[in-house]
Copies of this chain bind each other. A is one copy, B any other.
C-alpha cells in the first residue's frame, strides 16, 4: 500500500471528524462586509490559525487595516512549492427568513435526489472548499509525518468585500509567500461528475452611487412634477446602461474585449452546455444578456453590468406619498480579457454625471476593482493536477471559464509572478450568496481525496 493509498484510506475513515472540524468554523459568523461582525471575523481567523497549528503548520494571525489574514507554513521537503489560498469570510445570510435552518448552525440534509449536503452560510463559499485542502494536509501529516511538497497556506478575511488589504499584504510579504504555483479551491466542477480547472476568470468593478435631489423628503402631492424625484433619476440612469440588444452603453466599455480564442471556443462547445437547463434550474427561460451571444459566453467571456441593490423612498408596509431626498444603487461590472477596471469606473461616473439634472448631486463610493485573468494551461502543474483529478473522479477534468471573480488570482499573477490552479468542487446549485447555501458531502469528501492526490502529483 502506497503512502497515497494510506492517506486516502485515512481520509475515508476520518470523514466524520473532518465534518466536525468544518462545522466549527461554519458556526462562526465571519461576515466581513458588516462591521457589526468584526469580532466574529477575527475569531474565525484565530480558529483557522489554531487548526493549522494543530496539523503542524507554523501558523499565525496577521493584522491588516481591515480583517486579519492567516498564514501557515510547512516548508520541509523539496520539489514544486505551493501557496494555497482560501478565504474564511462569508457573505451576509439575509434574507434570513428564507433559510430552512439557521444559516450558522450547519446541518447535513438529504436532498430529494438522495445526495447528502452540508447546509450553512460558507459551506461552499469558501469554508467547505478550503477545508478540503487543509484536511488533505492533515491526512498526509498523520500518515507520513510530512507533506509531499513545501506548502504555505494563506487565508483571507475580506474576499467578499473587495479585499483591498490583500494586495499590499502580498507585496509586503512577497518573499515569504512566493511559491512555484498557486492553488485555490473556490471554484466549481463542470457538473457533479466532472471535475474542472478554471483557467479564465472575470474581473470586477463595484461601485455605489447615490442621487441627492431635494434637501429633504417631500410630500408628493405638494411637490409632485415640479420637484425632481431621485427615484426617477436613478431609474433613468440604470435603464440607459443597456441598449435594446443587451449591450452596455458606457462609452469605451468594450475596449479590450476580444472574441473568444478559437481553441477555447472549441473546448467549450465540446462541453455540451445545456442553456435551457441552466436557466430552467433558476426558474428562467430567456437569456437576458447580449443578443447573439451564447449563454456560456454571456456568463464566462462577456462583460456584465448588474444592479446588485437599489433603493429609495418608502419601502415599508403600506404606502407613503413621499418624494425622497435621495436614492442609491450598488452596481457591479464583471470584466473580461483586457478591460481596464479604472477606465470602466471613470466611464461609469461620467455617464451618470451626464444624466443627472443640474440641481441634483451624485455621490460615488468605490468598492473593489480587478482585471480579468487567464492562465497558461500548457504548464506541467496543470497537466499533473488534471491527471490527479481525472483519476479521483473517473472522468477527464475539464478546463473551463468562470463568470465569478477571484481577484487574488490576478494579485498572485501580477505581484508574485505565479500561475494559479483553480481546482474547486462547488456545483452550480450550491446557492452561494443565497439562502440555503450548501456543499455536497461528495464534494467535501472527494475534494479532500483530490487534494491528497494533487499534492502527491506535484511532488513527482
Measured CB to CB, the residues of A under 8 A from B are: 32-35, 91-92, 94-95, 98, 160-162, 188, 202, 204, 206, 208, 213-229, 231-232, 234-236, 238-242, 246, 275, 278-279, 282-290, 293, 295, 298-299, 302, 304, 306-324, 327-330, 332, 334, 357-359, 367-368, 402-405, 428, 431-435
Contact = CB atoms under 8 A, between A and B. Distances in A.
Nearest to A281: B215
Contacts of A160: 320
11 contacts: A92-B320, A98-B216, A219-B432, A221-B405, A226-B278, A226-B287, A235-B236, A310-B313, A311-B312, A319-B332, A320-B433
Nearest to A34: B317
B317 A33 contact: yes
A35 B304 CA distance: 41
Q: Which 6 A-B pairs have the closest CB atoms?
A: A33-B318, A225-B289, A215-B283, A221-B404, A239-B239, A309-B313
Contacts of A435: 216-217
A330 B314 CA distance: 8
A54 to B, nearest CB: 32
A232 B307 contact: yes
A327 to B, nearest CB: 7
B286 A228 contact: yes
A313 B98 CA distance: 14
A235 to B, nearest CB: 4
A439 to B, nearest CB: 14
Contacts of A231: 238, 306-310, 329
Of A32, A220, A359, most B-chain CB atoms within 10 Å: A220
Given A92-B316, A308-B323, 16 more contacts: A33-B316, A33-B317, A202-B221, A204-B321, A216-B431, A216-B434, A219-B434, A225-B246, A228-B286, A229-B288, A229-B306, A231-B238, A235-B238, A238-B239, A308-B314, A309-B322
B359 A286 contact: yes
Given A231-B307, A288-B229, A434-B216, A404 B317 contact: no
A106 B38 CA distance: 39
Contacts of A334: 220-221, 224-225
Contacts of A234: 235
A325 B224 CA distance: 30
A222 B286 contact: no
Nearest to A241: B232
A232 B224 contact: no
A232 B302 CA distance: 18
Contact of A34 (B285, B306, B316): B316
A406 to B, nearest CB: 9
